[in-house]
Amino acid sequence: MAKRARQNTLIDIPSEEEINRRHQSSTSSVSAGLQGLSIDKRKSKSREACVAESKFLGAKVKDNVQYIVIGNPGDQSTTQDQIQRHLEKLQEKDASNRSRSGSLSRSSGAAEGIRTELINSSLGPQKNVMSNVSTFAADKVIGKGSFGVVYKARNLDTKEVVAIKKVYQDRRFKNRELQIMRRIKHPNIVELKNYYFSTSSNKDVYLNMILEYVPDSLFQASHGYLDKQTEVPISVVKLYVYQLLRALAYIHSRNICHRDIKPQNVLVNAVNGECKLCDFGSAKQLVPGEENIAYICSRYYRAPELVFGATEYTTAIDVWSVGCVMAEMIIGHPLFVGETGVDQLVEIIKILGTPTKQQINVMNPNYKEMKFPQVKGSSLPKYLKNRTTAEAIDLLEKMLQYSPKERITAAEAMCHPFFHDLVQRVIDLPLSMALPDVCNWLPGELDSFPEDVRQVLESFRMRPT
């Protein structure tokens, strides 16, 4: 298996002319961005707390570091000249500091002094004019794809490391990611801290989301074990899968379906043991009876009802994906590796056997395209024999059911015996990894679950000692 590439790509910085144009059109970009996201400000007032929007005020580039300033969209006190002077002085001081130290790491240490000096010296007596701005230094690309690009950045005011996800707003497609991210907050979901819109020189609108930074993806962490020619410890599988299921149980209780669960979209911290679901670019709040696109979710993790072309599916497709992710952590490679949609189904059949007519009818009653030869399949227990525990195989069998109605839910899966030593906090993790409190339920988090599930999960809550 090919080793993972280290993501240390240098940032792709726009020209200063483009940045200036972007700032000049920032006001119009906000309204354009909102139109692209189908957000109606009149309807956005909700009982749920929402992350507020910020305004792009300006940016400058020096030594391959982009300095970005954002502020309160309602604050009209800052001027273009003040922002430019702020950026110029910050860049000069930051570059000078890095040159003396020979290390980028020390540049953020002087940032607070740089900004304070700038506010005091360049704005005269109006010391509060820029008191509500935030300045970020983005110097590294940590993710890139068809969606856009993700930068690692430093908040020069708080010294916090964040991720900035920049997404092109294509008006041909609905982007629900911001709408969903603004209204969810959970320990196992990457946090949206802020967002702003920007516009390129050719008037393209971009949504920039400032997100919680988590150092690794599950894909990277798993391949780290493979690089050392060792298996992912079953205790680590339990820890990460449980937190992933908890994140899903939370969004599924709101009828939100992620629709792209895969190792690359699960972030992990190998020091504190935390696991967080990210990338809601394909997510959607499902409405019973409403059709959805069937061509969704990365192929290796795509539920069979999607392969069969179902358009009225449920959040059960995410549970299938988690089963595939869990199996991949155990065996060291994807469980079902198909080259095409049909081939993907063939790979599933090799292990699970040919689905019955009744199962196909449940997955998609309108499917009549192809007849499959009757194959018994090797079965999961046989395929995974001597590779993991009986409890792990039993849970995988419950998650990898052809019929979505027979598939275990995320909340039910959290009650499975596979996780008992984890929730009882007697699990044997690697010495370098801390055990987080995975049952620190939020107020109301368990309320929508069935009574029996709720009682079991409530019993897992860590009691004060």
Please tell me whether residues 282 and 314 are part of one structural domain.
yes
User: Which of the residue ranges 103-107, 157-161, 260-264 has the most confident prediction, judged by mean pLDDT?
Assistant: 260-264
- pLDDT at position 130, please? 52
Per-residue confidence at 367, pLDDT binned at 50, 70, 90?
confident
What percentage of residues in the chain have a pLDDT greater than 70? Answer: 75
- What is the domain count for the chain? 2
Please tell me whether residues 177 and 280 are part of one structural domain.
no
- pLDDT at position 197, please? 93
Alpha carbon distance 430, 426 (integer Å):
13
Please tell me whether residues 165 and 283 are part of one structural domain.
no
Angle at 251 between CA 234 and CA 444, to 5 degrees: 100
Residue 108 within any structural domain of the chain: yes
Describe the strand order of the beta sheet including 148-155 as a list of residue ranges. Answer: 55-62, 65-71, 134-145, 148-155, 161-168, 205-212, 192-199
Q: Which residue has the tokens 């996800």?
A: 165
Please tell me whether residues 23 and 63 are part of one structural domain.
yes
Per-residue confidence at 268, pLDDT binned at 50, 70, 90?
very high
Residue 380 within any structural domain of the chain: yes
Please tell me whether residues 255 and 308 are part of one structural domain.
yes
Please tell me whether residues 245 and 183 are part of one structural domain.
no
Residue numbers annotated as active site: 260
Residue 176 within any structural domain of the chain: yes
Residue 399 within any structural domain of the chain: yes
Please tell me whether residues 127 and 244 are part of one structural domain.
no
What does the H/E/C string look like for 394-446?
HHHHHHCCCCCCCCCCHHHHCCCHHHHHHHCCCCCCCCCCCCCCCCCCCCCCC
Task: Give the three-class secondary structure for 359.
Answer: helix
CATH number, position 349 = 1.10.510.10
What does each C-alpha distance from 353 to 41, 384, 408, 426 come to in angstroms?
50, 15, 19, 37
Residue 448 within any structural domain of the chain: yes
**138 alpha carbon, distance to own chain's centre:** 19
Tens digit of each residue's pLDDT (9 = 90 or more) over 270-315: 999 999 999 999 999 999 989 999 999 999 999 999 999 999 999 9
Please tell me whether residues 204 and 163 are part of one structural domain.
yes
Residue-number span of the structural domain to which 59 is assigned: 16-212
Alpha carbon distance 121, 57 (integer Å):
19
Residue 60 within any structural domain of the chain: yes
Please tell me whether residues 173 and 230 are part of one structural domain.
no
| Two tokens, residue 335 | 């469980």
| Two tokens, residue 220 | 């990277």
Alpha carbon distance 64, 137 (integer Å):
10
For the residues of 72-105, what is the DSSP string, one character each? -TT-----HHHHHHHHHHHHHHHHHHHHHHT-GG
Please tell me whether residues 205 and 269 are part of one structural domain.
no
Please tell me whether residues 181 and 264 are part of one structural domain.
no
CATH number, position 110 = 3.30.200.20
Residue 8 within any structural domain of the chain: no
Query: Considering 212, 246, 269, which residue would you say is the last residue of a domain?
Result: 212
**Contact assessment for residue 257 and residue 284, using Cβ atoms and an 8 Å cutoff:** yes
Among the listed residues 368, 342, 212, 207, the one whose alpha carbon sits nearest the alpha carbon of residue 278: 212
What percentage of residues in the chain have a pLDDT greater than 90? Answer: 57
What does each C-alpha distance from 141 to 7, 104, 211, 228 come to in angstroms?
7, 15, 14, 26
Alpha carbon distance 356, 374 (integer Å):
9
Please tell me whether residues 195 and 221 are part of one structural domain.
no
Assess whether pLDDT exceeds 90 at residue 17: no
346: left (phi over 0), alpha (psi -120 to 50) or beta: alpha
Alpha carbon distance 363, 259 (integer Å):
16
| Two tokens, residue 87 | 């950026």
Per-residue confidence at 157, pLDDT binned at 50, 70, 90?
confident
Query: Considering 164, 183, 212, which residue would you say is the last residue of a domain?
Result: 212
Query: Considering 212, 236, 251, which residue would you say is the last residue of a domain?
Result: 212
